[in-house]
Amino acid sequence: MSISDRFAELAQIRESLGTVEADPSRIVMEKILSPTEAIIGNRPTILVGTNNYLGLTFDSGVLEAASAAMHEQGSGTTGSRMANGSFAGHAALERAFAEFYGVPSAMIFSTGYQTNLGLLMAILRPGDKVVLDSHSHACIYDGCRISGADFLAFRHNDPEDLRKRLRRMGGEAEGALVIAEGLYSMLGDTAPLAELCAVAKEYGAWFMVDEAHSFGVYGERGLGLCESAGILDQVDFITGTFSKSLASLGGFCVSRHPEMQLLRYGSRPYIFTASSSPANIAAAHAALDAIRTRPELKDKLWANANRLHDGLRALGYELASTVSPVIAVRVPSKEGGARLWNELLEQGVYANLVLPPAAPDSAALLRCSLSAAHSFAQIDAILAAFETVGAGAGADRAACAEAGA
Ligand code: PMP
């Protein structure tokens, strides 16, 4: 097989983006001006497609903590958590997560991706049963796949479909693992966690929730959707990432089961990779402190989310869900989505263009995600750009007709 044969499938994916004038995968943030602005293509651009929900990447406390840690402990750990890569900061952050959640057990991994992989690969054996939400993130699917467990998906956010699948398993449902997320990052919809958890528990299954997009954003104390759903004392494993509201790089897993600490002895994504840098750990710790002590950040995020949601609705755009910090505009054709995305960029607004298969249930999404650091003036500028490019759903319909959709 030639090298071009090996890359044929990837070349085809690139080809399918042919109608996209600026290829989303090639966007470079040439200069980062703030959590909500960058220079892209020589133009100052408002960012409404990041995961910087609390806007803490430029927070003075976060920057000072990261800078001090780097100067005191060096730029990298040069080793795994199992060898020379566990510094005092890693242990302190694990204690902080355990205390914040009121659980005996917390572990930190080098990314959110590795957290899910690390948990799933270690607790699942070939033949184990897993039932996961069909919209689960790639790393949840990957963790299940690599573990060799038998996994199947229940219909997105549908407790009755979960019940049906567990019932069909008969005795094997006991000890199965049910997995859901809190806030889903593509459509911006939230899981009915109390109902899903109740069904899992009724059948004696374990319940795991990935709060990657909901930690710091939901719950009275910012613990996530498990907190707002009132199931913190029932959920077995909660995972999350530092790469969104925590403004850093890394991931965490907390559990009410103290045995989870044993993952350190058998989780390959924990053992066979370098630990997060001192600066990443210190930044995440400072951001965690901000979540604990500055609820006004969350309030501002929600005010921004409401303003953008209401504004887009008023312009006639079709939105994928109710108000959340992720507001996805549905566009019925790939070409229409690509066109709107390009035109927004020309107007100085960067959103995420999401195409199938990453866009569930629709041809394309323009994913807008809010930050506490957006000003109302920026939200209004984003709305003005949407008004210019789209004239609401009408322009999209025109784009679709042109594309023969
Ligand atoms: N879980 C979910 C639900 C995610 O959306 C993501 C990242 N987009 C991850 C895990 C992985 O997190 P990280 O970027 O820290 O690897």
- The per-residue pLDDT for range 270-318, each reduced to its tens digit, is 999 999 999 999 999 999 999 999 999 999 999 999 999 999 999 999 9
Cβ–ligand 1 contact at 240 (below 6 Å): no
What is the complex's ipTM, to 2 decimals? 0.99
pLDDT for the residue 293:
97
Residue 250, by phi and psi: left (phi above 0), alpha (psi -120 to 50) or beta? Answer: left
In a domain, 2, yes or no: no
The bridge status of strand 352-354 relative to strand 364-369 is antiparallel
Residue 111 CA to ligand 1 center (angstroms) comes to 8
pLDDT at 22: 65
pLDDT of residue 296: 97
* 265 and 390 share one domain: no
If asked whether residues 109 and 69 sit together in one domain, one would say yes
The rounded Å distance from CA 387 to ligand 1 centre is 31
Q: 150-154 and 129-133: which strand pairing?
A: parallel
Of ligand 1's listed atoms, the one at least distance from the Cα of 51 is: 8
Instruction: Write down the pLDDT at residue 11.
Output: 82
Distance CA 88, CA 125 (A): 33
Percent of the chain with pLDDT over 90: 84
Question: Would 11 be classed as within a structural domain?
Answer: no
Can you give the pLDDT at residue 130? 98
Q: What is the pLDDT of residues 99-114, one digit of tens each?
A: 999 999 999 999 999 9
Domain shared by 168 and 315, yes or no: no
DSSP of 323-337, one letter per residue? SSSEEEEEESSHHHH
Closest ligand 1 atom to 181 CA: 3
Residue 99: inside a domain: yes
Together in a domain, 130 and 207: yes
Task: Report if residue 393 sits inside a domain.
Answer: yes
Angle at 394 between CA 390 and CA 156, to 5 degrees: 85
Q: Could you give the dihedral angle defined by the CA atoms of residues 291, 296, 297 and 302, in that order, rounded to the nearest 10 degrees? A: 120
Q: Is the residue at 3 inside a domain? A: no
Distance of CA 351 from the midpoint of ligand 1 (Å):
18
Q: Best of 51, 119, 136, 139 to mutate for ligand 1, by most ligand atoms within 8 A of CB?
A: 139
Query: CB of 211 closer than 6 A to ligand 1?
Result: no
Q: Is 53 inside a domain boundary?
A: no
Residue 8 lies in a domain: no
Ligand 1 within 6 A of CB of 210: yes
Amino acid 390: pLDDT: 83
Supply the range of the domain harboring residue 335: 16-47+295-402
- What is the whole-number distance in angstroms between the Cα of residue 139 and the centre of ligand 1? 7
Check whether residue 103 and residue 21 sit in a common domain. no
**Interval between CA 142 and ligand 1 midpoint (Å):** 12
pTM, 2 dp: 0.94
Name the burial class of residue 15, with classes exposed (0-12), middle (13-18) and buried (19+) by CB atoms within 10 angstroms of its CB. exposed
Residues of the chain with pLDDT under 50: 392-405
Q: What is the pLDDT of residue 397?
A: 43
Residue that is last in its domain, among 246, 265, 293 = 293
Judge whether 123 lies within some domain: yes
Residue 275, ligand 1, Cβ within 6 A: no
CA nearest 63: which of 19, 32, 109, 28? 32
Looking at 293, 311, 327, the residue that finishes a domain is 293
CA–centroid distance, residue 186 to ligand 1 (Å): 12
Q: Is 280 found in the same domain as 153?
A: yes
Q: How far is the CA of 315 from the centre of ligand 1 (A)?
A: 31
- The structural domain count of the chain equals 2
Q: Where residue 348 sits, what CATH number does that domain have?
A: 3.90.1150.10
CATH of residue 193's domain is 3.40.640.10
**Final residue of a structural domain among 234, 259, 293:** 293
Atom of ligand 1 nearest to the CA of 251: 15
Pocket lining: 280 vs ligand 1, CB cutoff 6 Å: no
